[in-house]
Amino acid sequence: MRLTAVARSVSLILFACFCLLQQAQAESCEKAVHELNSRISPGIDEQELVEILRSLNSTNNKRLPPKFVTKQQARYQGWKPGKDLWSVRTLKGSSMGGDRFQNREGRLPDSKWREADLDYKGGRRGGKRLVF
């Protein structure tokens, strides 16, 4: 069964909560990421997700790894919406993350959510997001 983008986001949120509760056991986060990846199609970059979760965990959900930039930060460096983020030399290797997630469908509890792209490899942004 293929998950829709929203269902995938909800799955990742639940997974992130699970991982963050397992602070004392570093290996359990990797195992949980691997387990999640075995249940979704297409899969995700496990190493990237573990890195994101560890960064969020160590900063009380405040900071993503350094490779993430907000849309405002990307625009400041010359990126234009709809364009390849990596077309800007200084953003090569970066991913979008840290912007507010609108929750327009109301499927998540009322809260201030943020999002981060997963598996971005240049070009158009894909549909994979971590909502936290």
Write the pLDDT tens digit of every residue in 88-112: 999 999 999 999 999 999 999 999 9
Residue with more model confidence, 100 or 10: 100
Query: Distance between CA atoms of 50 and 12, rounded to whole angstroms?
Result: 12
Place of tokens 């998540």: 108
Q: Give the residue extent of every domain in the chain.
A: 1-62, 64-126
Asked if residue 63 lies in contact with residue 56, where contact means CB atoms within 8 angstroms, the answer is yes
pLDDT surpassing 90 at residue 123: yes
Amino acid at 94: S
Please state which CATH class domain 64-126 belongs to: alpha beta
pLDDT surpassing 90 at residue 25: no
Instruction: Indicate whether this model's pTM tops 0.85.
Output: no
Q: Is 23 helix (H, G, I), strand (E, B) or coil?
A: coil
Amino acid at 44: I
